[in-house]
Amino acid sequence: MLAALRRRLQSWMRPRQAEHLPVRLQRNRIYILPTATGLFFGLLLGTMGLGALNFNNNPALLLALLLAGAAQASLIAAHMQLSGVVVDAVAADPVPAGEPLRLRIGLGALDQRMRRGMRIASGEAHAHVAFDHTGSTAELPLLTERRGLMPVPRLALSTVQPLGLARAWAYVWPDQSVLVYPAPEAQAPPLPTPVGDAGRAQVTRAGDDVHHLRGYRAGDAPRTVAWKASARRDSLLVREYEQHRSDQLLLDWQLTAGLPYEQRIRRLARWVDDAEREGRRYALQVPGQPSIPIGLGAAHRHRCLRALALMPGEAALG
Amino acid sequence: MADPRSLLARLKSPPMQPRGRLLVMIATATGLLPLLLQLPPELGTGFGVCAILVGIVSWRRAPPALLRLLVGIGMLVAIAAVAPGVGRDTACAVLAAMLALKPSETFSLRDGRSLVGFALFAPFAAFLLDQGPSSLALALVAVLAALLALQQLAHDEAEVSASTGTKGWPASVGVLKLVLLGLPLALAAFWLFPRLPAPLWGLPERVVARPGLSDTMTPGGWLDLMNDDSPAARVQFIGPAPPQQQMYWRGPVLLDFDGRTWRQAKQLRFLPAGPLQAAGPEWDYQIEPEPTEDRQLVALDLPTEVPDGAFIAHDYSVYSSQPLNGVTRWRMRSVTAAAAEPALPSELRRRALLVPAGFNPRTIALGRQWRADAGADASGNADAAIANRALEMIRREFVYTLNVPLAGRNEIDDFLFDRKQGYCEHFSSAFVVLMRAAGVPARVVTGYAGGYRNPIGDYWLVLNSDAHAWAEVWLPRRGWVRVDPTAAVAPERVFDTIADRQPGRIGAFDGLVPVFNASDWLRRGWNDFVLGYDAQRQQRLLNPFGGRPLGSRELILVFTVISALALAWMAWLLARGERERDPLLRAWHRLGRRYARRGQGREMHEPAEAWAERVGADVPRAGDHLRSLSRRFSDARYAAVEPGARRILLQDLAAHRP
């Protein structure tokens, strides 16, 4: 009942639909209500005022009124903390589903006033940020559940400044989505055997000629480290093999036949990560999308995982 | 269903940071200070020391609950020992004790905020005990400290680090700004919010009374009062003032004596005052007694006219119908009497002759002997002769001193026959008993004698140290006649404020006298304008401007209008805060809104000149002008132009209509 009322109120508050950034907060969308502390103070001041009026105790009345005036002014100050704030942009680096997505929110202000203790929240996730007209970026860890494009939720910017007696808040609802990769399968079989052209399929890793040595980069498989050479040079060196066509992987949708739909996507996502880690070039072929040619590296990985993330849902396939 | 653990975590308030906690403690201390100053000194100091120790001990972690409990019980016992009973002052003392102890268990943000709230109750409680300017000044400090603490706690909650929290203005300036912003609304409410003409519920009384005149007098008991240089009343004469030697301020009249203590005849209070014949001029004055929490008023001897809300009792002492809890002012008239109550009712006569049996045999014997010497005389000459004989004896043989040993059983015998030393209480008491023994109706009158004229403001200040007791004897045809046996011995001590005890004077150094005069004048203004402001004064608010008295409906109307103005001012501040700073941009946006009303508003992505090009084509009349305006606007924004051109552009932008 209370929750329903709350939802009703929330849906009534502005903005009632997603909007284009940048958004400037103005008084028609700033809400303000007393906090529990504020209600307690209201009660306290009411008692003091009533007692003072009853006894015609002027200093006490003056004291209560002065506090009430300051509390009233603090509402305005809270309002001014929000008004004039500009939400410039939101962005996030994609993460696998299930991991927190760090939503970056670019904030600025039209005036010189310092904004401090601004709280940005969406559901349980919240972050605090301080900024002035030069702007700043807040990072909000959002929970992700499903792969695909996640619409940025309605964000609540709120503050209890300056006295903690009232909370002023405004919603920002960016008309934007962020990408969530599929979660890689945890227990996946090893990478499929490489496919060459003309059926030449042979593991050639061990016998390959070493083309040259290069410095260690994060993500290089430990077995590619040239330990002897590294010991001589005091820095880790990695053998770089000459790439043979036969070493190329084709991560094909058909390889995962027999698995449930979502698990097939997750297995492919896992294999993409595995291939990246092992430094093996790979291609991806999934139904309904142009196949992604062979490649390696962050951009390639993103392209593959994006394709996997954007696979239509099972229901949509019929 | 929410996870109970997360619910619990949400209910549990986060802890305060050290800085926030320190400010909460400071707020508590500043709130406590005005209250401690109003408590009995031993309690005030004790609790103050206790609060400091508690603050130090519990800085890192809460002391054991048992220790806290023991300290709390100790404080309550101290209150019960110093001021046994339930009253306003003991309730305030309990509040002070709680506040002194509370910081020992205040660690979370929410507790900190509650403590700040309760700390604000302390100055409020102090005002129930004293409403002086010093209390208000301390309370203002407490308010600022409380607001500062709240601000810091809000910072703590929002995890504002010290580096961003202290950037720009210092924190106190922000709080001061808030207070100033709220000031117009607060003052409007103070002056205009309708006041109650009479309290809805009464003020609980104090357990420990303030020094002042009371309805009893035990000779030897006034030493505290006579050394108290705080004001008792301020009097402004309208027209001439009587000479200082005739300024007897009549307070409680004490008729009943039990051998040790004089008491008021309370049950006779509502008897009407006897007829009074004036001799000489009538004095018209306004008296402002300090709050005594009693109904007793003082009036110049003898009062003939008192305002509504006061009445003159049978013994010509004046009572208010309400206890004097706050500052009040009374316009009265008094005369020097030629005859006061020339026909004495038999009951009063009987009681004015009562001498307690078994006390002071020598005094009674002396009185009887004097009566035998003088003989009976219906005209009253013999009575007058007896009174004069007593005065003569006192003048000849007695000495004025404040160093008096403790009273024995026959105190008056000791005083009259052995010691022959004392002060006004002894003189008046012994004189009345002697008169009664001689068959002359007599009673003790207490009050104040003399006064100090403050040249600043031209009013008379009566101090508690001016407390005085004198006697009245009843003589046929003349009625009650004032006799001051103390003045027969030491007139300079009765009216002592003229010479050595002039306020503000230290020994022979009188440089501080003007300072005293000015500060008392300020205090009087404070009483007048701040403390004395009540429902009646509120109704007369517009009288100086020729207005008629305001009803509560009109007051509410005026209050609403003024508060609406104050709120509008705040709203204006809000709108101003949102306003574009650059006047050029502001004018440009206004122009854009004019076109937007016609559905030709500028799109967000559209540059100024492109928009003007698009729209200008559709507006045959103003199109060219708009194009030139947009070009000039772009120049002014992005190229250097001279200020004059900018001003002209501003005017043109404002004048342009689609």
> Phi and psi for B469 in degrees, rounded to 5?
-130, 135
> Cα–Cα distance between A46 and A55 in angstroms, integer?
14
The predicted model gives B184-209 an average pLDDT of 81
Mean pLDDT of chain B: 83
Lowest-pLDDT range of A235-244, B243-252, B515-524: A235-244
Does B200 sit within 8 Å of A54, measured CB to CB? yes
Name the domain count of chain B. 3
**B503 within some domain:** no
| Chain A residues in contact with B201 (beta carbon < 8 A) | 54
> Phi and psi for B8 in degrees, rounded to 5?
-65, -40
- CB count, 10 Å around CB of B355? 19
| Chain A residues in contact with B196 (beta carbon < 8 A) | 53-54, 56
Same domain, A55 and A147: yes
**B570 within some domain:** no
Does A83 sit within 8 Å of B577, measured CB to CB? yes
Q: Which helix (DSSP H) or strand (DSSP E) does residue B606 occupy?
A: none
Same domain, B286 and B399: yes
pLDDT above 80 (res A112): no
Q: Which of B190, B199, B570 sits opposite A76 (nearest CB)?
A: B570
Which pair of tokens denotes residue B327? Answer: 């500052």
> Cα–Cα distance between B631 and B615 in angstroms, integer?
14
Same domain, B489 and B621: no
At residue A39 the predicted structure's pLDDT band, cuts being 50, 70 and 90, is very high
Does A114 sit within 8 Å of B151, measured CB to CB? no
DSSP B582: -
Residue B2 confidence (pLDDT)? 43
**B471 within some domain:** yes
> Cα–Cα distance between B234 and B247 in angstroms, integer?
13
Residue A95 confidence (pLDDT)? 92
| Chain A residues in contact with B175 (beta carbon < 8 A) | 70, 162
Residue B9 confidence (pLDDT)? 53
Does B154 sit within 8 Å of A161, measured CB to CB? yes
Q: What count of residues does chain B have?
A: 658
Last residue of some domain: B474, B498, B522? B498
Same domain, A122 and A18: yes
Same domain, A71 and A9: yes
Same domain, B259 and B375: yes
The predicted model gives A132-161 an average pLDDT of 89
Question: What are the distances in angstroms from CA B422 to CA B426, B499, B562?
Answer: 6, 21, 61
| Interface contact B8, partner A, CB < 8 A | no
**B415 within some domain:** yes
At residue B86 the predicted structure's pLDDT band, cuts being 50, 70 and 90, is confident
Residue B504 confidence (pLDDT)? 55
Same domain, B237 and B340: yes
| Interface contact B154, partner A, CB < 8 A | yes
Which residue, among A35, A62, A80, would best test binding to B if mutated, counting the most B CBs under 10 Å from its CB?
A: A62
Same domain, A150 and A238: no
Percent of chain A at pLDDT exceeding 90: 29
Same domain, A231 and A291: no
Residue A201 confidence (pLDDT)? 37
DSSP B506: B
Contact between B424 and B469 (Cβ < 8 Å): yes
> Cα–Cα distance between B479 and B492 in angstroms, integer?
28
Lowest-pLDDT range of B139-148, B407-416, B422-431: B407-416
Same domain, B60 and B156: yes
**B172 within some domain:** no
How far apart are the CA of B480 and the nearest CA of chain A, in angstroms?
A: 39
Same domain, A155 and A269: no
Same domain, A14 and A135: yes
| Interface contact B322, partner A, CB < 8 A | no
**B555 within some domain:** no
Does B199 sit within 8 Å of A37, measured CB to CB? no
pLDDT above 80 (res B508): no
Same domain, B452 and B372: yes
> Cα–Cα distance between B129 and B132 in angstroms, integer?
10
Same domain, A85 and A46: yes
B360-397 confidence digits (pLDDT tens) = 899 999 999 998 888 877 777 888 889 999 999 988 88
Which pair of tokens denotes residue A94? Answer: 């994609």
Same domain, B100 and B230: no
> Cα–Cα distance between B184 and B345 in angstroms, integer?
60
Which residue, among B10, B116, B164, would best test binding to A if mutated, counting the most A CBs under 10 Å from its CB?
A: B164
Last residue of some domain: A137, A161, A177? A177
Last residue of some domain: A221, A243, A265? A243
> Cα–Cα distance between B428 and B482 in angstroms, integer?
11
Same domain, B311 and B406: yes
Interface of A with B in 170-229 (CB under 8 A): none
Nearest-Å Rg of the Cα atoms of chain B is 37
- CB count, 10 Å around CB of A210? 12
pLDDT above 60 (res A200): no
Same domain, A140 and A190: no
Same domain, A197 and A54: no
Q: Which helix (DSSP H) or strand (DSSP E) does residue B147 occupy?
A: helix B133-157
B528-562 confidence digits (pLDDT tens) = 877 878 777 787 777 777 667 777 788 888 888 98
At residue A104 the predicted structure's pLDDT band, cuts being 50, 70 and 90, is very high
Q: Which helix (DSSP H) or strand (DSSP E) does residue B452 occupy?
A: strand B452-454
More confident residue, B30 or B450: B30
Bridge partners for B299 per DSSP: B250
pLDDT above 90 (res B197): no
> Cα–Cα distance between B518 and B461 in angstroms, integer?
12
Interface of A with B in 102-131 (CB under 8 A): 110-111, 113-114, 116-119, 128, 130
How far apart are the CA of B191 and the nearest CA of chain A, in angstroms?
A: 10
Question: What are the distances in angstroms from CA B366 to CA B273, B326, B350, B371, B386?
Answer: 33, 47, 20, 9, 11
Q: Which of B164, B186, B203 sits opposite A69 (nearest CB)?
A: B186
With both helix axes pointing from N to C terminus, report the angle between B381-397 and B361-374 in degrees, rounded to the nearest 10: 130
The predicted model gives B514-540 an average pLDDT of 82
The predicted model gives B197-218 an average pLDDT of 77
pLDDT above 90 (res B658): no
Lowest-pLDDT range of A134-138, A179-183, A222-226, B213-217: A222-226
| Chain B residues in contact with A67 (beta carbon < 8 A) | 120, 143, 146
Residue of B nearest to A127 (CA): B158
| Interface contact A158, partner B, CB < 8 A | no
Q: Which of A26, A41, A55 sits opposite B578 (nearest CB)?
A: A26
**B517 within some domain:** no
More confident residue, B170 or B11: B170
**B603 within some domain:** yes
Same domain, B162 and B221: no
> Cα–Cα distance between B234 and B617 in angstroms, integer?
84
| Chain B residues in contact with A163 (beta carbon < 8 A) | 147, 150-151, 154, 178
| Interface contact A52, partner B, CB < 8 A | yes
At residue A178 the predicted structure's pLDDT band, cuts being 50, 70 and 90, is very high
| Interface contact A33, partner B, CB < 8 A | no
Same domain, A316 and A198: yes
Nearest-Å Rg of the Cα atoms of chain A is 29
- CB count, 10 Å around CB of A122? 19
Does B575 sit within 8 Å of A114, measured CB to CB? no
B165-174 confidence digits (pLDDT tens) = 444 457 778 8
Same domain, B133 and B28: yes
Q: Which of B135, B159, B179 sits opposite A70 (nearest CB)?
A: B179
pLDDT above 80 (res B325): no
- CB count, 10 Å around CB of B27? 28
Does B124 sit within 8 Å of A55, measured CB to CB? no
| Chain A residues in contact with B575 (beta carbon < 8 A) | 27
What is the four-CA torsion angle of B7, B10, B11, B12, rounded to 10 degrees? 120
Does B178 sit within 8 Å of A73, measured CB to CB? yes
| Interface contact A84, partner B, CB < 8 A | yes
pLDDT above 70 (res B160): no
Residue A44 confidence (pLDDT)? 93
Does B578 sit within 8 Å of A83, measured CB to CB? yes
Residue of A nearest to B527 (CA): A58
Same domain, B289 and B149: no
Which residue in B454, B485, B482, B450 sits closest to B465, CA to CA?
A: B450
Residue of B nearest to A26 (CA): B578
Does B200 sit within 8 Å of A77, measured CB to CB? no
- The domain in which residue B629 lies consists of 583-655
Does A63 sit within 8 Å of B117, measured CB to CB? no
Instruction: Identify residue B596 by its one-letter amino acid code.
Output: A
pLDDT above 90 (res B653): no
pTM above 0.80, yes or no: no
More confident residue, B499 or A113: A113
The owner of tokens 């004198």 is B470
- Global ipTM: 0.77
At residue B423 the predicted structure's pLDDT band, cuts being 50, 70 and 90, is confident
A45-84 confidence digits (pLDDT tens) = 999 999 998 888 888 999 999 999 999 889 888 888 888 8
The predicted model gives A6-18 an average pLDDT of 80
Last residue of some domain: A220, A243, A266? A243
How far apart are the CA of B635 and the nearest CA of chain A, in angstroms?
A: 22
The predicted model gives A192-203 an average pLDDT of 50
Interface of B with A in 571-600 (CB under 8 A): 573-575, 577-578, 580-581
Last residue of some domain: B167, B201, B227? B167
The three-state secondary structure class of B107 is coil
Residue of B nearest to A126 (CA): B158
Which pair of tokens denotes residue A243? Answer: 């790439």
Same domain, A85 and A105: yes
Q: Which of A44, A74, A76 sits opposite B120 (nearest CB)?
A: A44
The owner of tokens 């001799």 is B279
Residue B166 confidence (pLDDT)? 47
- The domain in which residue A82 lies consists of 2-177
- CB count, 10 Å around CB of B402? 12
Bridge partners for A138 per DSSP: A105
| Interface contact A77, partner B, CB < 8 A | yes
Bridge partners for B509 per DSSP: B506
Interface of B with A in 502-541 (CB under 8 A): 530-531, 533-535
Residue of B nearest to A110 (CA): B580
Name the domain count of chain A. 3
Last residue of some domain: B465, B498, B531? B498
| Chain A residues in contact with B580 (beta carbon < 8 A) | 110
The predicted model gives B580-601 an average pLDDT of 83
At residue B66 the predicted structure's pLDDT band, cuts being 50, 70 and 90, is confident
